[in-house]
Homo-oligomer: A and B are copies of this chain.
Amino acid sequence: MKHHQYAITPPMGWNSWDCYGATVTEEEVKGNAEYMATHLKQFGWEYIVVDIQWSEAGAVSSAYRPFIPLEMDEFSRLIPASNRFPLSKDNQGFKPLANDIHQKGLKFGIHIMRGIPRQAVHQNTAISGTNKRARDIAKPNSICPWNTDMYGIDSNKDGAQAYYDSLFQLYAEWGVDFVKVDDIADSKLYGIHAEEIKMIRKAIDRCGRPMVLSLSPGPTSLHSVSLLEENANMWRMTDDFWDIWDLLYDMFEKCYRWSKNIGPGYWPDADMLPLGHIGIRSVDGGASDRFTRFTKDEQLTMMTLWSIFRSPLMFGGEMRDNDEWTLSLLTNKEVLEVHRNGFGARQVYRDEDKVVWSSCGDEATLYVAMFNLADDEEQVAVTLESLGLTDTQVKVRDLWKQKDLEPQFEEITYKLKPHQSKLLKLSNVQTQYCNKGTNLNL
């Protein structure tokens, strides 16, 4: 489908949530954009995304202030809080900031909540392009359970599509390239909001500007898989992910379940990478200002899973505080190649806490990721046969170390420490699993 073209490889970028909660400022956004342009752009990183509540002038944390008035234009549309985003003065919205980011060769994204502001509904304000007003289109009792900003919109009402159209028309004028819509994929109270997803799809298609559509929060139900692919580019497989081992452990099962439902333009999303300096103005995830609580092995394990599975990669930390180690996680070309161009990822096997995945590269290449999720050291092995190889010996390259290893016979086997993993490349191999005639819907 046409919108799949907007994200033909899994999006890579930065998002303000993990470090700044609901409070990020223009200066911080620009600073991170500058960092990305300098250090990361050349590796494929491109999106700079301002997360939730950029209309809240007094936001102080990841904890929202209930019922607080938000900045809004005359047509019931939220606009940036000008104290936090000075460039938005004179009713310019995010246009100047987007320009700035575009000039750095990057792309600009925003977060929105589905629906229309509650304050608009109680004031019964106007909607652009229709004589209907806010009260006419709000779904009376459709709320978000964790934030008081919005009412949902009733797709059966005249003016409903007009409102979403007016939103995306504004975002197109601003120059938005990526929209993360929240409280929509798993609304906790009501399940998935299918009708609002369809209205948003239509509004983007009509707005004249390509925008990647990302749906939150998760876990999104697999039962909605067709709806998701037909309307969005990425959707969360999980509730908010943080630097907690149990959450990373659980992601393996989620990736396994979704692994048949990935392709160019539609990307099940394992959520942001809580790496580097996070929690600066956020208490979500059970902690505050810190460097990631993941060990180095866990960080590699996370990056390896996200890469071979091809989850979107959205870095969550304050990038300007990256140390060398953290930067190295984002700039390994051989690893990023797996993420960008691998295909046909599958879990080869799981035996309790030993897990092996593979995916296909170009020209007789097979990637193999081996994980030890146990709390003890384990010997993790995979037979060449189970990888679909008829060879009895293969050459193996360690992609994180960018170093060739000893050839392996009959099976590939390594001793892995707790939570440790290996990401390998096998060259000059033939496997049925990368034979398009057999494992694709042709």
Contacts and interface: CB of A to CB of B under 8 A. Distances in A.
A6 to B, nearest CB: 11
B264 A66 contact: no
Interface string A390-411: 0000000000000000000000
A67 B264 contact: no
Majority secondary structure of chain A interface residues (helix, strand, loop or mixed): mixed
B226 A257 contact: yes
Chain B CB count within 10 A is highest, among A140, A261, A263, for A140
Chain A interface bracket (under 10, 10 to 19, 20 to 34, 35 or more)? 35 or more
Contacts of A43: none
A5 interface: yes
A382 interface: no
A140 B66 contact: yes
A226 B355 CA distance: 14
B260 A261 contact: yes
A282 B365 CA distance: 54
What is the copy number of this chain in the assembly? 4
B263 A440 contact: yes
Interface of A: 1-2, 4-5, 8, 66-67, 118-119, 121-122, 124, 135, 138, 140-141, 143-148, 189, 222-226, 229-230, 256-257, 259-265, 343-344, 346-347, 388, 432-433, 436-442
28 contacts: A1-B388, A1-B433, A1-B438, A1-B439, A5-B438, A67-B121, A67-B138, A140-B148, A141-B145, A141-B146, A141-B148, A143-B143, A189-B189, A222-B222, A225-B260, A226-B260, A226-B346, A262-B441, A263-B439, A263-B441, A264-B437, A264-B438, A264-B439, A264-B440, A265-B439, A343-B441, A344-B441, A440-B440
